[in-house]
């Protein structure tokens, strides 16, 4: 990590980290940033969203020890992760910016790999591979790439819609601030606000580099969140976000890829709902059927009008099988 006293004046990279009750993880996260083998200046913007544990105390210690690189902002009241990230964007001064979740980690060469690729290809966005880990296991993400790829112009958003090589989360990516620093996360959305943000940003990017190098370690802390989004109704925000990002599609390929993402999303939801409580499953089933009608997710439309490929048709068949299973479960409850 740089120790240049001018680091905060001309940082190459701004790292934005929202903080909320992560005292068990934040030390390890910040240690991984301090341990970066990066020869250029960077700044770390920590924004605490009214934590009630000792997260702030840990952050303050890092700011004290590494004042040339670390800054701490404290929200006057709890605002949520979107508004907190947006405050970080308002403060960022780097040539590039990136997001890190406070329970995740960076491999030592992460900043170097992302920055060098951005400079080499004059890229608007660079996305690297990531691993997923918990207390007992670590593995590569399914959407990682095996070789480096360069995507240009309208293909950038198409690649995000396709969801095979890039997913709609902001971490693990480096963004050029001059081109993309003015866009903000939607506030007040309970789920998939990251997808909306990434879709808007990708729609304005002119180039995307996909690196075949691990630049991010994502900590899996899922403890029943799959069922909770249906119990709380937050899945509706997910559906709304997936629908609304279609407004960024302009080319035929983008529109086709977005329709494929709609099918993919409905299939995922239907397959998850097969195992949740009947008390919630019936309501979700109605929402799925309503959206399928609104979005024209019908076999005839998918084949002859939308001209989707075999993978989307296969997902449609899985969707119908999952819906049949949900109806069967409800009839037996």
Strands (E), the chain: 13-19, 42-48, 70-74, 96-99, 125-133, 138-140, 149-152, 173-176, 207-219
- In the chain the domains, ranked by start, together with CATH numbers, are 13-219 (3.90.550.10), 225-332 (no CATH)
What would the pLDDT profile of 286-316 be if each residue is shown by its tens digit? 999 999 999 999 999 999 999 999 999 999 9
28 and 105 Cβ atoms separated by less than 8 Å: yes
63, 40, 38, 153 alpha-carbon torsion, rounded to 10°: 110
The contacts of residue 230 (CB under 8 Å, 6+ apart) are: 272, 273, 276, 280, 281, 284
Sole residue written with tokens 């890092």: 62
Picking from 27-31, 213-217, 222-226, which range would have the lowest pLDDT averaged per residue?
222-226
- Computed over every residue of the chain, the mean pLDDT equals 95
308 and 257 Cβ atoms separated by less than 8 Å: no
What would the pLDDT profile of 244-294 be if each residue is shown by its tens digit? 999 999 999 999 999 999 999 999 999 999 988 898 999 999 999 999 999
**Distance separating alpha carbons of residues 141 and 133, to the nearest angstrom:** 10
pLDDT band at 222 (very low <50, low <70, confident <90, very high): confident
What would the pLDDT profile of 37-46 be if each residue is shown by its tens digit? 999 999 999 9
Please report the pLDDT score of residue 5 as a whole number.
44
pTM of the model: 0.94
**Distance separating alpha carbons of residues 160 and 203, to the nearest angstrom:** 9
């Amino acid at each position: 990590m740089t120790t240049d006293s001018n680091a905060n004046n001309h940082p190459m990279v701004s790292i934005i980290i929202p903080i909320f009750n992560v005292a068990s993880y934040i030390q390890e996260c910040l240690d991984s940033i301090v341990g970066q083998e990066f020869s250029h200046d960077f700044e770390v913007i920590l924004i605490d969203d009214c934590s009630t544990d000792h997260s702030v105390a840990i952050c303050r210690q890092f700011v004290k020890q590494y004042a040339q690189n670390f800054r701490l902002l404290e929200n006057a009241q709890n605002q949520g992760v979107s508004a907190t990230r947006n405050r970080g964007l308002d403060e960022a001064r780097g040539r590039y910016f990136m997001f890190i979740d406070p329970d995740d980690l960076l491999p030592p060469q992460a900043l170097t790999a992302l920055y060098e690729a951005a400079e080499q290809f004059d890229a608007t966005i660079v996305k690297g591979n990531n691993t997923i880990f918990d207390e007992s296991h670590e593995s590569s993400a399914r959407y990682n790439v095996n070789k480096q790829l360069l995507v240009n112009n309208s293909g950038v958003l198409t690649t995000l819609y396709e969801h095979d090589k890039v997913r709609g989360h902001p971490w693990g990516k480096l963004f050029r601030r001059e081109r993309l620093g003015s866009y903000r996360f939607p506030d007040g959305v309970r789920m998939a606000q990251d997808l909306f943000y990434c879709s808007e940003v990708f729609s304005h990017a002119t180039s995307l580099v996909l690196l075949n190098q691990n630049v991010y370690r994502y900590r899996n802390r899922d403890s029943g969140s799959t069922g909770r989004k249906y119990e709380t109704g937050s899945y509706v925000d997910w559906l709304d976000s997936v629908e609304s990002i279609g407004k960024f599609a302009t080319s035929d390929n983008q529109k086709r890829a977005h329709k494929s993402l709609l099918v993919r999303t409905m299939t995922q939801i239907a397959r998850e709902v097969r195992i949740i409580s009947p008390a919630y499953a019936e309501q979700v089933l109605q929402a799925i059927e309503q959206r399928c009608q609104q979005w024209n997710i019908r076999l005839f439309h998918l084949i002859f009008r939308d001209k989707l490929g075999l993978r989307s048709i296969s997902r449609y068949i899985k969707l119908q099988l999952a819906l049949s299973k949900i109806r069967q479960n409800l009839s037996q409850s």
